[in-house]
Structure formats: structure tokens, C-alpha cells
Amino acid sequence: VEPPVAASAAWRRRLALTVLVALAPAVVEAQPARRPYRIGVLNEAFTANHPTVDGLKIGLRELGFAEGRDVTFDVRFTEGKPDAALPAAQSLVQSGVDLLFTSNETATHAAKAASETIPIVFTLVGDPVASGIVSRLAQPGGNVTGVSGLTTELVAKRLELLKALAPRLRRVWAVYYAADPSSRAAAMRAREVGARFRVTVVPRPVTTSADVERALVEAGPGDGLLPPDVPILDIPALVLETSVASRIPAVFTSALWVEHGALVSYGSDYRAEGVQAARLVAKILRGASPKELPVEGADRIDLALNVKTARLLGLTPPRKVLLRADVLRR
């Protein structure tokens, strides 16, 4: 009788192989986790926790991206220096980020200049078409998309608001950074629609901080101020100073300034814009191409009113304004 030893050894091997094959799918599924996405954040803020960045983080968290595990943030803020944006953008690109999240036009332009391939999601761009960031809102093309702050569109509404608060308003100074096309577009729009509210809007392009000082000195009683929404040359802050110091009413683009004592603001909520942009960021991180994602208009437009400042300026906010106000500082 032949010894079955060799055959049974071979058989055992075959059995082991079969079991291995059966288990194979389970082994394959246990893939190593992907490394976190790195998001480069670039803005002109003076601190790292700009409201849009907060909004982005909140939005991403709501969409299931945990910071540290799924995403990390590399934040660069240029403190309002126009020249600092491009080097910062380039350094982010060189550090190998997966996506650039920008706020304001300058940062967005810098990001565009630094890379034509890394997806860019912008916020706080008042007029993306006018500023040349995208060619069309519905189909932005290139590697850029984002949330538009509707600044230009809301200029009329701001003038209406300022006039409603200060009915004696005759002239409004629209001070803006000369090289910023969207600010310029907003100023021009203001000049166009000013007559409707029996107000003369004077666009005042400036190129230096000294220009700003000079422009603001010209504002006197019966005048109003219309600062741009971009903080280049720190114009909004200077306008706020002038407004409070010279009791000249000014309408701002963001509730941020009302928090700091500005009279009134009408514009998108920065944090909400960040949250809104987080949706785009998430889509891109999940594989969508930025050129197919339309530029969205800001969802939330807030009216913020500082009652204290109104009183300081000797103004009584009418009921209609109060009814409208989303934020009231007393």
C-alpha cells in the first residue's frame, strides 16, 4: 500500500491556499488611510483667525472633514501689504498644498499668479468678473472658483441705507485703492446710482496711505463716506477713524466694522461666506474640478447697525432701518 504522506502534504498546502484566496478581499480592503489634505489659506488679515477662515473650518467640519485627520491648514496673512501676497502664495505653492483658500482680491490674484494647477477657492471678492478673477460666474474656467461678496451689486443698497440714516446727506466720498478694479467698479456704480438718492458720489482713487489721509480730510459735514470692502492701505479702518472722529456717517461692507464702532454696514457675512466656500472646497477635495463649479453669490447679507455710533453722530435710525437690521450694537 503506497504511503499517502507526500500526497496529503500537498493537499494541505492546497487547502491553505484556498483559505488564503477566500480571505484575500478582506485583506485588500484594509488600505492605509490617505494623508490629510493640506489647505493653504491666504488673506490680507492681521490675524490668523479671520472670520472666513473660521467659517471654512466650521463648514468643513459640518461636511465631515476633521481638522488634523482629514485636513490641515497652512495660514498666511499679509496684514494688508499688497506686495506680500505673491511671495506668500508662492511659498504656499512650493510647500505643496492641495488647495488654496483665499480671501480678498489681492490674495486671490496672487494665488492665481502662483499656480495654474492647484485649485483656488476664493471668498470676499466683491466682483469676481470685474476684477478679472473669473470670466463668467456660471463657468469660471481655470483653477479658480469661490464665493462672491456682491459688493458692487450692493452699493446702491448701501447708499440707500446711508441716506436713510442721514437724510441730510449730500455728498459721499468713495475712497478706494486705485489699482483695485472691483473697488473701482463699486465706486463707479455708486456714482451712477447716487442721483437716485439725491447724493453726489465722488470716487477718490488713492495709491498711498498719504493719499487716503488727504482724501479723508476733505470730508466735512453733510458728507458721507463709502469705504471699499478690501483692506488695502487699511482704507476701511482709516474711514472708520475719520467717521467716528469727524462725525461723518459711513457705510461699510461688513458687520466687522460695526463691531469696531462703525455706524452701519451692509454686506455679506464673512463667516457665512467661509462656510459657504467650505462646500466648494469639499467638492473639490472629493474630486470635482474647480472650473465646473460656478461662482456662488454670498448667501447671507447682513445689515449691522451701531446705535451708539448713530447717537454719537446725532442720527436717529428710522424704524425701517431698525426693522431691517440683522445686527444691532447698542
Partner 1 sequence: MSARRGGRLFRKYVVVLVLLVGGVLLVSSAIELYFSYEETRAAIARLEREKALTAAARIEQFVNEIERQLRTSTHAAFDDPAAAMEQREIDFLRLLRSVPAITEIEHLDGAGRQQIRVSRLAPDEIGSQRDLSREARFVETRGGQTYFGPVYFRNESEPYMTIGVPHGEAGNEVTSAEVNLKSIWDVVAGIRIGSSGYVYVVDSQGHLVAHPDMSLVLQKRDLSALPQLRAARDALKAPGPEREVVSTARNLREEPVLAAHALIPPLRWIVVAEQPLSEVFAPLRASVARSVGLFLLGLALSVGASVVLARRMVAPIRALQAGAARIGAGELGHRIEVRTGDELEALADEFNRTTVKLQESYAGLEQKVEERTAQLTRLVGELRALGEISQTVNSTLDLTQVLASITAHAVQLSGTDAGTIYEYDEAAEHFVLRAAHRMEPEMIEILRAQPVALGEGSVGRAAVARAPFQIPDIEAAGAYEGRLRELLLQSGFRALLAVPLLREGHIVGGLVVRRKSPGEFPPDVVDLMQTFATQSTLAIQNARLFRELEEQGRQLQAASEHKSQFLANMSHELRTPLNAIIGVTEILLEDAQALGAPEQVEPLERILRAGRHLLRLINDILDLSKIEAGKMELHIESFPLGPLVSEVVTTVQPLIERNGNALHTDCPPDVGVMQADATRVRQALLNLVSNAAKFTEKGRIDVRVRREIRDAEEWIVFAVADTGIGMAPEQTARLFGDFTQVDSSTTRKHGGTGLGLAISRRFCRMMGGDISVESAPGQGSTFTIALPARIDAATEISPAPPPVPVAAPSAAAEPHRWSVLVIDDDPTVRDLMQRFLVKEGFTPILAASGVEGLQLARARRPAAITLDIMLPDLDGWTVLAALKGDPELAPIPVILVTIVDEQSRGYSLGAAEYLVKPVDRERLGQLLRKLCGGPPPRRVMVVEDDETTRALVRETLERDGWVVEEATNGRDALARLGEARPHGIVLDLMMPEMDGFEFLDRLRRLPEWREVPVLVVTAMELTEADRRRLLGRVSEVLEKGAYARDDLLREVARLLTVAANRPTPSATGAP
Provide, rounded to whole angstroms, the least separation between the CB of residue 51 and partner 1: 19
CB-wise, 110 or 275, nearer to partner 1?
A: 275
CB-wise, 85 or 305, nearer to partner 1?
A: 305
Provide, rounded to whole angstroms, the least separation between the CB of residue 267 and partner 1: 11
Cβ within 8 Å of residue 142, ≥6 positions away: 112, 116, 134, 290, 291
Contact (Cβ atoms closer than 8 angstroms) between residue 103 and residue 148: no
CB-wise, 184 or 283, nearer to partner 1?
A: 283
CB-wise, 20 or 217, nearer to partner 1?
A: 20
Exposure class string for 293-314: b at 16+ Cβ within 10 A, else e: bebbebeebbbbbbbebbeebe
Provide, rounded to whole angstroms, the least separation between the CB of residue 42 and partner 1: 24
Neighbours of 65 (CB within 10 A): 21
CB-wise, 139 or 207, nearer to partner 1?
A: 139
Distance, CA of 173 to CA of 198 (rounded, Å): 14
Exposure class string for 132-151: b at 16+ Cβ within 10 A, else e: ebbeeeeebeebbbbbbbbb
CA-nearest of 183, 154, 161, 155 to 249 is 161
* φ, ψ (nearest 5 deg) of residue 183: -65, -40
Provide, rounded to whole angstroms, the least separation between the CB of residue 140 and partner 1: 10
Provide, rounded to whole angstroms, the least separation between the CB of residue 61 and partner 1: 16
Length of the chain measured in residues: 330
CB-wise, 260 or 300, nearer to partner 1?
A: 300
Footprint on this chain of partner 1 (rule: CB under 8 A): 1-2, 4, 7, 11, 15, 18-19, 21-22, 25, 136-139, 148, 150, 153-154, 156-157, 159-160, 193, 196-197, 279, 283, 288, 292-297, 299-301, 319-320, 323-324, 326
CA distances for 68 relative to 58, 246, 262, 286, 297, angstroms:
14, 47, 37, 17, 29
Provide, rounded to whole angstroms, the least separation between the CB of residue 319 and partner 1: 7
Provide, rounded to whole angstroms, the least separation between the CB of residue 115 and partner 1: 22
Provide, rounded to whole angstroms, the least separation between the CB of residue 305 and partner 1: 13
CB-wise, 61 or 157, nearer to partner 1?
A: 157
CB-wise, 214 or 320, nearer to partner 1?
A: 320
Amino acid at 70: D
Contact (Cβ atoms closer than 8 angstroms) between residue 258 and residue 303: no
CB-wise, 44 or 269, nearer to partner 1?
A: 269
Task: Classify residue 67 by its DSSP letter.
Answer: B
Distance, CA of 265 to CA of 245 (rounded, Å): 18
Rg (CA), the chain: 27
Provide, rounded to whole angstroms, the least separation between the CB of residue 2 and partner 1: 7
